[in-house]
């Protein structure tokens, strides 16, 4: 996807870190449901530009993992105090465990059941006994809303706007979106780019079964900005 590769530098104008503050509060509560008398360790898979992590790092010792070197570079400059690693959420094995594992919106990039199960097994493999994992897909089947959104903002010397069109058709466990980016670099020219993205769509029941198969207990399902968020303890 261009957005996480050659367009990665534009990510902070597409989805500013401040926009994650409210959701981060709810995520923090789910990561630490019983409170804690020490700083918990959290592994975030698919941490992207680290915008969500920038609100969690004061409370948790974060290890941030992403597939994209350019997104990791962005996150390193925003969150220099966090540990950053390259890796695929479907296959990563660090040989260590954490108090909690988080896969936020990045889990939406997994659109086949086999890959969802692989990502959940990765989360389970990195969780200490009794630890909690939190997953925030953009949509579940029950919440699916084929909407069109526009956004973007201006920086000091450049600006970007985007239009994201979530297509109504569903193919197996995937839905499709078209994203058009309008980019104004500092030289005043206009650049137009496009991504077609396939994203995962699973029902709450499919999530619950996949979590069980990966070694988790029954998940708590909460609403997070009209999406479903799953929190499950290591079984």
Ligand X SMILES: C[S@@+](CC[C@H](N)C(=O)[O-])C[C@H]1O[C@@H](n2cnc3c(N)ncnc32)[C@H](O)[C@@H]1O
State which of positions 68-107 bind ligand X (CB under 6 A): 68, 71, 88-90, 104-106
Binding region for ligand X (CB under 6 A) out of 62-70, 178-186, 207-215, 217-225: 62-70
State which of positions 5-24 bind ligand X (CB under 6 A): 20
Considering only 14, 40, 42, 67, the residue that binds ligand X (CB under 6 A) is 67
Of the two residues 89 and 100, which places its CB atom closer to ligand X in the complex? 89
Q: Report which secondary-structure segment, H or E, holds 9.
A: none
Cα–Cα distance for residue pair 212/111, rounded to 1 Å:
18
CA dihedral 122, 123, 129, 131 (to 10 degrees): 170
Of the two residues 86 and 186, which places its CB atom closer to ligand X in the complex? 86
Considering only 49, 131, 137, 219, the residue that binds ligand X (CB under 6 A) is 49
Closest CB to ligand X: residue number: 48
Q: Which two tokens stand for residue 8?
A: 């990665």
**By CB under 6 A, how many residues form the interface with ligand X?**
21
Of the two residues 18 and 142, which places its CB atom closer to ligand X in the complex? 18
Write the binding mask 183 to 202 for ligand X: x where contact by CB under 6 A, - elsewhere: --------------------
Helix 113-125 and helix 204-213: axis angle, to 10°? Answer: 50
3-state SS assignment for residue 27: helix
Length, in residues, of the chain: 235
Considering only 56, 57, 66, 116, the residue that binds ligand X (CB under 6 A) is 66
Cα–Cα distance for residue pair 89/14, rounded to 1 Å:
24
- CB crowding 35-61: b at 16 or more within 10 Å, else e: eeeeebbbbbbbbbbbbbbbbbbeebb
Q: Which two tokens stand for residue 226?
A: 């009209």
| Residue 96 Cβ vs ligand X, minimum distance, rounded to whole Å | 17
| Residue 1 Cβ vs ligand X, minimum distance, rounded to whole Å | 7
Neighbour count for residue 169 (Cβ, 10 Å): 8
Binding region for ligand X (CB under 6 A) out of 29-37, 64-72, 188-196, 211-219: 64-72
- Residue 11's φ and ψ, nearest 5 degrees, are -55, -45
| Residue 196 Cβ vs ligand X, minimum distance, rounded to whole Å | 15
Considering only 24, 46, 127, 199, the residue that binds ligand X (CB under 6 A) is 46
Binding site for ligand X (CB under 6 A): 4, 20, 45-52, 66-68, 71, 88-90, 104-106, 109
């Amino acid at each position: 996807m261009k957005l996480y590769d050659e367009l990665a530098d534009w990510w902070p104008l597409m989805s500013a870190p401040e926009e994650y503050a409210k959701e981060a509060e709810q995520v923090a509560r789910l990561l630490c449901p019983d409170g804690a008398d020490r700083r918990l360790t959290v592994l975030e898979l698919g941490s992207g530009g680290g915008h969500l992590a920038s609100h969690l790092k004061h409370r948790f010792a974060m290890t941030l993992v992403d597939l994209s070197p350019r997104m990791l570079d962005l996150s390193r400059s925003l969150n220099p105090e966090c540990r950053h690693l390259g890796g695929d959420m479907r296959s990563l094995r660090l040989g260590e465990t954490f108090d909690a594992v988080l896969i936020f919106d990045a889990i939406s990039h997994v659109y086949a059941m086999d890959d969802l199960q692989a990502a959940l097994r990765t989360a389970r493999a990195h969780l200490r006994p009794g630890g909690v994992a939190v997953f925030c897909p953009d949509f579940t089947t029950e919440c699916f809303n084929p909407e069109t959104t526009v956004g973007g903002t201006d920086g000091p010397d450049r600006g970007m706007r985007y239009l994201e069109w979530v297509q109504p058709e569903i193919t197996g466990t995937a839905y499709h979106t078209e994203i058009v980016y309008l980019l104004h670099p500092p030289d005043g020219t206009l650049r137009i780019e496009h991504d077609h993205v396939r994203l995962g769509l699973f029902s709450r029941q499919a999530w619950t079964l996949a979590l069980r198969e990966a070694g988790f207990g029954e998940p708590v399902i909460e609403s997070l900005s009209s999406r479903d968020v799953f929190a499950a303890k290591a079984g």
